Amino acid sequence: MAAWWHRDVIAADKLPLMLCLLAFIATFVATRTITRLIRDGRGPFRNVTPGGLHIHHSVPGLVLLIVGALTALGAPARLGWQCFAGVTVGMGMSLVLDEFALILHLQDVYWNGEGQLSVEAVCLTAACIFLALIGFSPFGVQHVGGVERYVRISASGLLAADGLLAIVCALKGKYRCALFGMFVGPVAVAGAVRLARPNSIWARRLYHGHRLEEATRRAADFDKRWRPVQTGWEDFIGGRPSPDAVAAGGDPAGTP
């Protein structure tokens, strides 16, 4: 374990990225926990409303992103500064993306159905950071033996194939298959060989007549079966939406 830590994390300059991922996940968990408590009226947390102006937590998130970016660009090239930049960028990204749907719609949809888009954006970003963290070059590590070098070349080839299949899944409108397929190869294969979703780029370019009708029918059957599972998972991570509160003008999502 110690050899792996020094060779594949410290020597590969991935410690700041690892801290960025940990800060990103920890900040998201803490933020969602606090906003749930605020919505339920429990605990000591309250919305930040100086002078009656509600301050969303994407605002301090932007400040942290700016501080992290300037630190990465202007601070001395030392591990301590790089780790500080990684932590601040991770925290800032989490706070901003947690209100991604609000920024996209330019209205408070945090606890509305559209607000679940923020959860998907956070999960996608975390997966991308994780992929960057575990990714490796087959020739980029010093003192690697012959067997390990071949293992790394093979693994890199598999990752490249998964990446191509993930692109096909994305073109077919199967974005979740593309995401999970980067980690689980059979998922990418299944998504790539099956019919595309009818509103995808792939279907608009290549499907006509009976094939388009079949794609539409299969997409409807898939959504009917799996949409409740997806919704339940998003509700578990981000909290169940409360459309009535948003429609009434409530503002339950805040910055502690």
Tokens of 194: 């099956």
pLDDT at 11: 57
Q: Which residue has the higher pLDDT, 231 or 152?
A: 231
pLDDT over 90 (residue 22): yes
Q: Is residue 55 classed as helix, strand or coil in its secondary structure?
A: coil
Pick the closest to residue 99 from 27, 179, 20 (CA basis): 27
Residue 80 host element (H or E)? helix 79-97
pTM attached to this predicted model? 0.68
Encode 166-187: b = buried (16+ Cβ within 10 Å), e = exposed. Answer: bebbbbbbbbebbbbbbeeeeb
CA angle 251, 109, 123 (to 5 degrees): 115
Query: What are the helix and strand counts (H, E) for the chain?
Result: 12, 0
Asked whether the predicted pLDDT for residue 255 surpasses 50, the reply is no
Compute the distance between CA of residue 118 and CA of residue 109 in angstroms, rounded to an integer: 10
First-last CA distance in the chain: 38
What lies within 8 Å, CB to CB, of 142 at 6+ separation is 11
Q: What is the pLDDT of residue 107?
A: 82
Q: For position 88, what pLDDT does the model report?
A: 97
